[in-house]
A and B are shown apart, each in its own frame.
Chain A
């Protein structure tokens, strides 16, 4: 972790073009909360040879336009990789892609269990943020 590093919002993405909306939602969140924006993508090690490269490059471009620093890890354990990154980079808010059952998602559950003090929001179908645990949209939470 670099010295004097500001707190940041972290957007966790996969290798899909549609993750662009997660980054844009994260950008709005970071702007409103005065945070830096970081984007993390964890892929299986076998993808390091070039799988989904076009999608990853697209997300790099989207991150750059959003003013975010993006990094891709090729690891077997995405939860551990994400948690390590979170603890090393002063992450103050985590943004994830929405799933029908967040409690059933091993990734979301793992993140929330090991980063219990950090708020986690998911992006819904409309592109809005829902704060996990409250059931409310971010707009509602922020009043």
Chain B
């Protein structure tokens, strides 16, 4: 059985064409052959009928004996047809016996002949075809009037069955059947191969289309065929090239988008119209503590908080974006969820963007605190100055001594303001990273001695004892910046003196190991509470609020920034009631692996 539908249809078409041709040929031949054969037969019978009519006329004149006429009537083979002679009334002549029909007398034929007789007896020649329902045969009837003495004396009818027609039609049928069968059989094989030849390029195009559907865009159809099939192949190959180019562009775009999304610092989650996760990026996995490439059956496994998924569902339902905050362990996230729509405006999903705002909120809080602290620190001396100035302006202060004292207060507070602003600017410069430090070998002990000498008087004036302790041996030189070390020492000594009561001791101790020097400034002050230690180096942090007016509150912050700039550290050790010790490090000049020369940024 031929599986190809196309091939079967072509073969059926060829068979149908052959059969239809045969059928039409038969029909046309039957229609046309009948009249042709009838005409030929009639043309053959008319002169014979005329001959007999003339013979009858001669008989009626007495020139031909009746037996001659009777012999012709009785023997149809003489004229090649059956002879019927009638008088004008339609009867027979008394001396003449009618002949026999081939198939005997039939009523319908009799009826036909009587009507023809009347027509011929009126003097008209008649030629007609008749069909006998009884015998099933066709006949030719030729009627010639018998003229006698200037009138019509009777009619002569010759009848002949159209045997040749039937025989010729039978031969035609047989020849058509046979020729049709021969033609069909002969055409079967070439038709099959011709149809296969036509179907082959179509099958190839089908295979190419299937390969393209599987992702192989390199396959090509056969363009060599002539005519429409070749054009179809060309069009198909053009389609394949265009599709391949489009797919390539889409793949590139998809990869570009994927890399962009993967490179985002913000987390991204995309869901489909039903809320199921379709895409995530590495950032969102990190945000929620998942490993790279993690996959999730349930969306709650990605983000446990059901509130966020309620928001996704809300966006899908209402088709409007929203923005909210999500608190996770250790982070604050700003979440923006936006619906996705297709070309028809139908919602096909939603995209959530997760931005970590923890640091920005912390910085904002720090900024607020900074502004509040600076405002407070500035306001305090300004309030004092204002009060004093108002008193002087209003003339409240009378005595010159009091006035001088007030002027002293104003001067002191303005100097305090000036120091505060200087410290703020210094801290700002240090934190901006624009300050450079040039390091060099420094004799730290000599530096400390110099600073100690300058501050000794101040220390002893407030009733404190000062000491300098150097660990055993020659103290190695440090690779540092002498001015900055002095700055730190002054800050620490100033704090130590400030917070040590009278008769207490303030000292400096220097030790070292193979890499670093350790310079410790110790005091016997009230000490620092354990909970204050972590915030000791914050700006404006003052552990003793009662001494709030004694300094700017920026000293330790500046010390930490200065040391950090040089790659050094500072730490505080203290216990309430037992004093404090601030220790900072300095890199040894001869430490292994130290970078030499050049300023440090």
Contacts and interface: CB of A to CB of B under 8 A. Distances in A.
B248 to A, nearest CB: 32
A48 B338 contact: yes
Interface string B287-324: 00000000000000000001100110000001011111
Interface in A1-21: 2
Contacts of A72: 322-324
Interface stretch (A23-31, A63-71, A127-135): A63-71
B322 A2 contact: no
A63 B323 CA distance: 14
B325 A70 contact: yes
Given A48-B338, A69-B325, A64 B361 contact: yes
B334 interface: yes
A48 B321 contact: yes
A82 interface: no
B364 interface: yes
B334 A74 contact: no
Q: How large is the interface on A (under 10, 10 to 19, 20 to 34, 35 or more residues)?
A: 10 to 19
Contact of A64 (B306, B318, B325): B325
B325 A74 contact: no
Given A45-B320, A70-B325, A73-B322, A61 B361 contact: yes
A2 B318 contact: no
B361 A73 contact: no
A70 B324 contact: yes
Contacts of A48: 321, 323, 336, 338
A18 to B, nearest CB: 18
Contacts of B318: 75, 81
A71 B323 contact: yes
A2 B307 contact: yes
B323 A2 contact: no
A22 interface: no
A60 interface: yes
Contacts of B334: 57, 60
A71 B310 CA distance: 13
Given A48-B323, A74-B320, 17 more contacts: A2-B307, A45-B321, A48-B338, A60-B325, A64-B332, A69-B325, A70-B324, A70-B325, A71-B311, A71-B322, A71-B324, A72-B323, A73-B320, A74-B323, A75-B320, A76-B320, A81-B320
Interface of A: 2, 45, 48, 56-57, 60-61, 63-64, 69-76, 81
Closest 5 CB pairs of A and B: A72-B323, A71-B324, A48-B321, A74-B321, A75-B320
